[in-house]
């Protein structure tokens, strides 16, 4: 078999093996039997003794289908409606008024379920009797606040919750008063539980599917973000450290509990099953053990957020909460790009058009770097016949071949890395663009035009992927190929088909960016081949040169 066909044969064989594995050979996944979490596993991640010795976590106090309900108090503003259950003081509903889910009859996005036990506080390891969940009574209420009270034999507990106007933020205060004649001790633990249903169904065939958008645990430990994919949630696990906040997130939304004034000592994550309800996961904020003297009290305040992952809203919470958006190391580039996207939206009032303007702006900004890259690749392409001659002459003497090749580059003033280095400089910007368009809640159900009603969902008519495939085919034809290897050239011709298939599963907004970027690249290549500069376009000299 000729060398130029071996690469294609290997690629085809690899795809065939993958298809055979996923359709015939691979065993079906084993069903998971819901079970209550076992005793807590301690993972020492800091100094020895820095974490309190926590009692074993038995069956969760909430999150079971037989959970009783108390009196419900609704807190509401223009953005959210939150239902607070007096039994445990938990949030059993949390609807976002301006965001609807998917389906034929879309309902408001909800961050809470009755069984989730969000905002439930456990008094773990207490040396006194305390019911779980705590049966509060409603002492006071208003449209945006509720005051819950429990008076027991040894303690009284006050839970005050205030919904801030025109925000997705709650302010919560927990107060435990010691009414006994001896010191009481306990470990405060706050919960955020969730069912990991998908906000949008997966699309695709076999292993070519869009990423699932399941809710999963997330927390901040020692200033760093830790997101736990639902598939990797342990049965029960406790990690020590300085815990800034805990919660749950999906691709566009997040709910979290942020302690004010002091950090927690550990975070506990795990899962448990509920008959007929699907599997729950929980993330718990675990404080150091508390001692309260007779007649004294323990007070802890919290900021609670439940809403879209909008940068300005997360920044207002503090505690590095904005890291939850997930830009990672590319944040320094991604944030300005997000501001640019929002700036263009304020001008055109259409996020699809804003993406087009943003892509054009970035492409023009990087035009000098692209021009250097094209120039270097064209020079390398022109040297390919001479490089081929050197290979034929010195093919058996690799050292001599390398020396002669470098002399050839030097004589023609060509840098073999000149085509790659400018492209590498652009990677952080393109990665940031991808991250912004993938994670931006601004694109959630945002319309573009005509039948495109949701920039965050895949193209239902496959128009954008098809146009991208055609554009990338022309781009591959026009771009100078610095390599004379026939196999590599054939593989490059397969790239348009691969990208076309990939875009079938990605959001329209992201596909729109890649399509416009490809068209701009073709335009830049055409201008370079014709010797047309930007100033020629401005002065209309392009008509003469074209």
Single pTM value for the model: 0.76
Please answer whether residues 238 and 261 qualify as being in contact, where contact means their C-beta atoms are separated by less than 8 angstroms: no
**Any idea where the domains of the chain sit in the sequence?**
32-196+212-324, 338-545
Express each pLDDT in 246-280 by its tens digit: 999 998 999 999 999 888 999 999 987 653 444 78
> How far apart, in whole angstroms, are the C-alpha atoms of residue 308 and residue 424?
33
> How far apart, in whole angstroms, are the C-alpha atoms of residue 190 and residue 219?
13
Express each pLDDT in 501-546 by its tens digit: 777 777 888 889 989 988 988 888 888 777 777 666 656 565 555 5
Please answer whether residues 439 and 309 qualify as being in contact, where contact means their C-beta atoms are separated by less than 8 angstroms: yes
Q: Which of 320-329, 354-363, 382-391, 453-462 has the highest mean pLDDT?
A: 354-363
What would the mean pLDDT of 463-483 be, rounded to a whole number?
Answer: 77
> How far apart, in whole angstroms, are the C-alpha atoms of residue 350 and residue 347?
9
Higher pLDDT, 484 or 153: 153
> How far apart, in whole angstroms, are the C-alpha atoms of residue 444 and residue 316?
22
Query: What pLDDT does 88 receive?
Result: 94
Q: Fold for 32-196+212-324, please state it.
A: Beta-galactosidase; Chain A, domain 5 (2.70.98)
Q: Across all residues in the chain, what is the average pLDDT?
A: 79
Supply φ then ψ for residue 79, to 5 degrees.
-110, -35
Express each pLDDT in 41-86 by its tens digit: 333 333 333 344 444 444 344 443 445 678 999 999 999 999 999 9
Query: What pLDDT does 74 receive?
Result: 96
Chain length of the chain: 546
Q: Across the chain, which distance is largest between two alpha carbons, in Å?
A: 98
Candidate from 189-198, 261-270, 350-359, 483-492 with smallest mean pLDDT: 483-492
Q: How far apart are the first and last CA of the chain?
A: 45
Phi-psi region of 531 (alpha: psi -120 to 50; beta: other; left: phi over 0): left
Please answer whether residues 185 and 293 qualify as being in contact, where contact means their C-beta atoms are separated by less than 8 angstroms: no
**Does residue 484 register a pLDDT over 70?**
no
User: Helices marked H in 132-287 — which ranges?
Assistant: none
Express each pLDDT in 3-12 by its tens digit: 344 444 444 4
CA distances from 355 to 198, 455, 475 (A): 26, 10, 21
Measured at the CA of 276, the angle between CA 275 and CA 279, to 5 degrees, comes to 70
**Does residue 234 register a pLDDT over 60?**
yes
């Amino acid at each position: 078999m000729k060398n130029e066909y071996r690469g294609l044969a290997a690629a085809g064989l690899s795809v065939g093996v993958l298809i055979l594995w996923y359709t015939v050979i691979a065993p079906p996944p084993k069903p998971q039997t819901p079970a209550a979490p076992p005793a807590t596993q301690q993972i020492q991640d800091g100094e020895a003794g820095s974490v309190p010795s926590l009692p074993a976590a038995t069956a969760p106090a909430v999150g079971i289908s037989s959970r009783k309900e108390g009196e419900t108090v609704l807190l509401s503003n223009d953005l959210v409606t939150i239902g607070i259950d007096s039994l445990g003081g938990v949030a059993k509903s949390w609807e976002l008024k301006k965001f609807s889910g998917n389906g034929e009859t879309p309902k408001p996005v909800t961050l809470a379920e009755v069984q989730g036990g969000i905002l439930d506080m456990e008094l773990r390891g207490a040396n006194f009797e305390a019911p779980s969940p705590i049966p509060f009574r409603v002492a006071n209420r208003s449209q945006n606040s509720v005051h819950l009270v429990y008076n027991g034999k040894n303690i009284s507990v006050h839970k005050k919750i205030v919904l801030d106007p025109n925000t997705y933020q709650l302010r919560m205060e927990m107060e435990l008063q010691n009414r006994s004649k001896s010191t009481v001790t306990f470990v405060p633990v706050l919960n955020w539980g969730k069912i990991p249903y998908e906000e949008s169904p997966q699309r695709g065939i076999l292993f070519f599917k869009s990423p699932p958008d399941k809710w999963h645990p997330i927390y901040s430990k020692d200033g760093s973000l830790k997101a736990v994919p639902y598939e990797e949630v342990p049965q029960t696990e406790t990690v020590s450290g300085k815990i800034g906040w805990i919660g749950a997130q999906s691709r566009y939304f997040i709910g979290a509990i942020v302690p004010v004034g002091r950090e927690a000592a550990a975070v506990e994550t795990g899962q448990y099953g509920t008959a007929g309800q699907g599997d729950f996961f929980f993330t718990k904020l675990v404080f150091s053990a508390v001692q309260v003297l007779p007649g004294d009290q323990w007070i802890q305040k919290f900021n609670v957020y439940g809403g879209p992952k909008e940068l300005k809203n997360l920044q207002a919470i503090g505690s590095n909460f904005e890291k939850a958006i997930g830009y990672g190391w590319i944040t320094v580039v991604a944030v300005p790009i997000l501001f640019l996207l929002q700036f263009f939206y304020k001008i055109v009032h259409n996020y699809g058009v804003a993406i087009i303007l943003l892509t054009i702006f970035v492409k023009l900004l990087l035009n000098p770097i692209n021009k250097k890259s094209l120039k270097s690749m064209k020079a390398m392409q022109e040297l390919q016949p001479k490089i081929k001659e050197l290979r034929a002459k010195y093919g058996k003497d690799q050292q001599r071949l390398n020396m002669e090749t470098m002399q050839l580059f030097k004589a023609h003033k060509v840098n073999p890395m000149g085509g790659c280095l400018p492209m590498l400089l652009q990677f952080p910007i393109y990665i940031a663009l991808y991250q912004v368009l993938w994670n931006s809640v601004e694109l959630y159900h945002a319309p573009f035009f005509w039948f495109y009603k949701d920039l965050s969902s895949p193209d239902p008519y496959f128009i954008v992927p098809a146009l991208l495939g055609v554009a990338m085919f022309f781009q591959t034809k026009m771009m100078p190929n610095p390599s004379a290897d026939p196999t590599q050239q054939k593989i490059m011709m397969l790239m348009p088909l691969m990208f076309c298939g990939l875009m079938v599963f990605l959001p329209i907004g992201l596909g729109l960016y890649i399509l416009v970027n490809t068209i701009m690249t073709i335009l830049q290549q055409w201008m370079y081949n014709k010797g047309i500069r930007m100033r020629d376009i401005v002065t209309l000299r392009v008509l003469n040169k074209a």
